[in-house]
Structure 1
Amino acid sequence: ECPICQRTLTDRGALTRHLRVHSGDKPYECSMCPAAFAKPHSLSTHRRTHTGEKPHTCHICDASFSQRTPLRRHLLVHAGEKPYACPFCPAAFVDPHTLQMHKRTHTGERPYECRVCRKRFAQSSTLGIHMRTHSADRPFACSACPAAFRDSRTRDNHVRTHTGEKPFGCALCAYRFSQRANLVRHMRTHTGEKSHQCDLCPAAFACKQALLAHRRSHLGEKPLKCNLCPASFAYPQNLHDHEKTHSKRVACPVCDKKFSVGTRVRTHMRTHTGEKPFECSICNKRLARRSNLTRHMR
């Protein structure tokens, strides 16, 4: 039994390692950076952030992890279990740690401080990545191009731009993604979760980027400028649509209606042919446009 916190340990060796938590003793030093740890297992796990080793693999989707605990959390995604609910919004999570990090988006808490510039962060992993901005260290090199990165996760995300790999699959439809963050945003199209609330009106959005774009409608900001004329826009899609008006227009062969690009003509042609290529995976209803399917899935 620990004489300080009364925790019971399995043997004397475990007690010795546990006492370092109280004493602050960290005898196991990383040979690649200044980090030090109280337990050899913690050092072994940490070294994987340098080597990129991910020995724990999901048997369902082949996603891999450097530690067993993140793999266990990941498996709950496939099971659909989210027992930890946010008290501030409808969001729910597979583990209490992720819930705690999410709650900081509501409370604004940033408990992790950079010892160099005093900037604060909500997550320890974000602080770790930030610390490398104070040095020129970029140990994670891409094998396909000269790019190098400060952490293995960013390097792995970048490598997928070369390989086209999309390891993160949606459990509710056929969509797959190269990055976990994109999958998380996509899942909100199924759940209807809109955790990003506008402070100027009742509107809410599934992702932060959509909220920032929406706020321009209140502020009158139009930061996106056309390269061919003085027009400016609040939203990227509006700029994209406008730029097509400068290009050659394509006519529908049935009704002669004109469009700026061929893809718009193909979509329009479905009003003549009745084609509905997008099918709901839940009720099998078919729709002519992907955007209509997305709205229907909500």
Structure 2
Amino acid sequence: MLENCCVCLNDLFHLNKLSDEDERNISLFKKLVSSVPEIAWINNYQICKPCTNLLDIVYSFRETCLKSDILRRQKENELCKENDGKKEFRDTSTENEESKTLVDKYEEITDTFMDENSSDSSDAYIEDSKVNTKGKKIKPSKKRKRTLRFQCDKCTEKHSSSKELINHCVDKHGMDFKDVRPFVCTKCNSRFASSSNLLQHIKYHEAVRSNVCSYCGKGFITKTDLKIHEKQHLNLREYECNVCMKSYNTHKDLRSHKLVVHTDPEVWKFLCEYCNKKFPIKSNYDSHMRRHTGEKNFECHLCHKKFLEKCVLQRHMKSHTNVREFRCTECQKEYKEKRIMQIHMAKIHGIGVGEIKLPSKERKYICHICPKAYYAKNKLTRHLYTHSGEKPFFCTICNKKFNDQSYVKQHMKKTHNFVKVENQI
């Protein structure tokens, strides 16, 4: 256990345990998590008296803001109900503003950041001089050109509205109108079927986590993400599979379960272009593709080491701390990960043997061409490259290809004098 304050790192004052509770039975740990959700607080940390007083102020301020927000929303709803009964007195300009659709909002957004490189921008207005019946010239009027914002990704033809683009894709390319995605994000080129989906997507680029969980204080970008997260806290499991009767907290989890367990792999629509392996869910497909491309988007902010997957980064972060929050109830031995502690208790003390899968040293992955067998599936996969002649690993300098990553490291060290090389897959 740390012998100094987890906030100011000072050891000059009396330290309180984060498990200590106030008169309302709210623990200091809960207050810390709610007030500063960006930090992974550990329950067995300690906090000094001055920081405890400061935490109480911050937590009270946060509680006051949340309660005030609820009251403010209630008052706004009451005012809306009153205004509904007075529609005949409503200003027409207000009506027009409120009646804007999501498509109209999208039009406003695209006016500012869509087609930034358009060559037509300098010719946005055309002067049209006319003469009236008395022979006097009318002041030239300015007419706005129809901006070609919606571009077909099949033939790069541009259109002035999403409806025109959909009709074009259906007539010219034989596409189903449901598969046409006219709205494009200018930051990552992702395409969407509706402007509302694009507006939701843009929020993720802005990354403002203004929707806070009332249970744990974690922030989320959209209200939908927050509602899904809070269902995990409630654990009601309202969504039941009609095939095997398993229940899940969200419709998304149920849908994923049906795709993975109850759907024929032959109809899975995400196909790897490198190894022809199919996946039922796009997130699994994306994770797999990063192994081929070597793209590592998850970086440790302490040692700057990069990883292919977020869960691997989270496990790695524990290597930077000596905090061992999981303790064996029999021998008091401590562990950083719960799973490692459970394996210890099952193997050494025989506790929970049926609840956790113990790692086996059986060579169950057998090559169907030669008698070789392996402990891990990925080892067998790499071995099969020697039979197929496929060489998915390559040198990033000279593009020489190999059938095993270890050969790339040897090649880089001997040929290019590179001592350390990160995995490409």
User: What's the TM-score once normalised by structure 1's chain length?
Assistant: 0.48
Greater gyration radius: 2
